[in-house]
Structure 1
Amino acid sequence: MRTGEDDALHDFVEGRRTALFRSAYLLCGDRHEAEDLVQSALVKVVLGGRRHGRLDNIEAYARKTLVNTFIASRRRFWRREQAYAELPDRQMATSDTDTGLVVRE
């Protein structure tokens, strides 16, 4: 059985999902990532709405949650790691033997 607050959250999700998707697409530039971002943000909004009771401005809460979820996804380590070139198969020859001796010491 849903309460009045649950009805308000349900109506918000139904009515504003497309607008949140547009905002998410502008943030990340990828349709699939934007859909995942909206889904994650809406789950957090619904859980936050149930946990905190009545939300004064659900639209602002949802948009802030969307942006914070996007920022958090960009901070993940696997997002930052990118391979740019192949590693060399052999060691590069050094012309300065004194530098090699200093490094080995």
Structure 2
Amino acid sequence: MAPQNADTEMGDGLPPAVVEDLLSDDARRRALAILSDREGPVVVEELAAAVVAAREGCGEAAIEATDQETMAEELFTEHLPKLMATDVVAYDSMLGTVELRRRDVAPQRQP
């Protein structure tokens, strides 16, 4: 029997400190909630637009292209690497899509 660390959840869950870190960033939290709402993979640029729209409280069609591009770059450089390293999301570089793999980590989307 493997020893259990007090910081580790039961089963195959991530340690609470890791989950807390993943959810500590607003954009990452919004991206996870959006992925949780959608079935299947989402194109990263579409995810970026949805994150900005959620932050701004408007429709995705109202998002400026530069804001979408900035968020897509932020997703690629900051958020997706961290989420992929913890196996929370999977990224398909051939299609440019991301898919949620661990729904237990994703927060519920807020209205």
TM-score normalised over the length of structure 1: 0.31
Question: In terms of Rg, which structure is larger?
Answer: 1
Higher RCO (CA < 8 A, seq sep 6+): 2
Bigger proportion of residues as helix: 1
Bigger proportion of residues as strand: 2
